[in-house]
Amino acid sequence: MTKLKAEDARRAIVEHTRRLGESAAAAGPDAAVPTTPGWTISDLVEHVGQSQNWVSEIIERRITDPTQLPTEMAVLPADPREWQAWLSESAQRVAGACSDDALDAPVFNPAADERSGTRFWMSSALNEAVVHGFDAANVAGRPADIDADIAAALISNHLAMLTSPTWEMLRSESAHAIRGTGQTLQWLAIDTADDAGAWFVERRPGGATWQPGTRQADVTVTGPARSLLLALTRRLPLTDREAADINVDGDTALAQHWLDNTAHVSG
């Protein structure tokens, strides 16, 4: 799995949350967010801040039992002028919770993979800040730069969650839809080193699986890691190659079917 150094992940959470706050202020609280249908900027800010505080509590309390996950959520300030400070505090809190001392502590990992719970939640918090940061920037007409190594790590995180036992339990409709009879998809980033930007997916009768590296595939989607991440999270349309700087070689319908059936729980 493509990994980021914990220090880099913590720094990115804070930085992308800061950018999100600035974009939200520029867009205004009532602005609609096209990439999260039905949401306004107010909903977006509330979701990210609440998620960061919720994740922080899980790690701080070293929760290992999923039945003990927090049930109370942080309250969004009523005054939008306070939102940037509120988001800054929530980002700093989750970055602090993911300290080096906590990285390998016993904490519940919903993906049930080889990562520690803290490392899973750190990736989740980073995903929220980066992807929803793009949502807010898109509304505000601001640039949304995403470093290739960050995008690559989030693609690995995204695929790990989609192919996990937890996804089967929580999103059985999605998990069943992406099963198959051996169809293969490949995602290749053109701006990462070595095999850090190569993901091979196989749709098997028992469930979809993925592994790093390159192989012959029914469809190969190539582009910058940022564009691949935004396509996988349905922020950029796969077929809008000019906007996404993406090339699709092979069965485009197969790749589109994967995207259509893999909307992430967190938005």
**pLDDT tens by residue, 115-127:** 999 999 999 999 9
In this prediction, residue 242 has a pLDDT band, given cuts at 50, 70 and 90, of: low
List for the chain the helix, strand, coil content (%; round to 5): 50, 10, 35
At residue 91, the pLDDT reads: 98
At residue 194, the pLDDT reads: 67
Residue 26 φ then ψ, to 5°:
-70, -35
- Residue 6: is its pLDDT beyond 60? yes
- Helical segments of the chain, H only: 6-27, 41-60, 83-97, 117-140, 148-162, 165-170, 172-177, 225-232, 241-244, 252-260
- Which secondary-structure segment (H or E) carries 163? none
What pLDDT, in 10s, does the model give residues 34-71? Answer: 999 999 999 999 999 999 999 999 999 999 999 999 99
Q: What is the rounded average pLDDT for all residues in the chain? A: 93
Neighbours of 22 (CB within 10 A): 17
Distance CA 97, CA 12 (A): 14
What pLDDT, in 10s, does the model give residues 155-197? Answer: 999 999 999 988 888 889 999 999 999 999 999 999 997 667 9
- Residue 134: is its pLDDT beyond 80? yes
4-28 average pLDDT score: 97
- Residue 266: is its pLDDT beyond 50? no
- Residue 244: is its pLDDT beyond 80? no
- Residue 264: is its pLDDT beyond 70? no
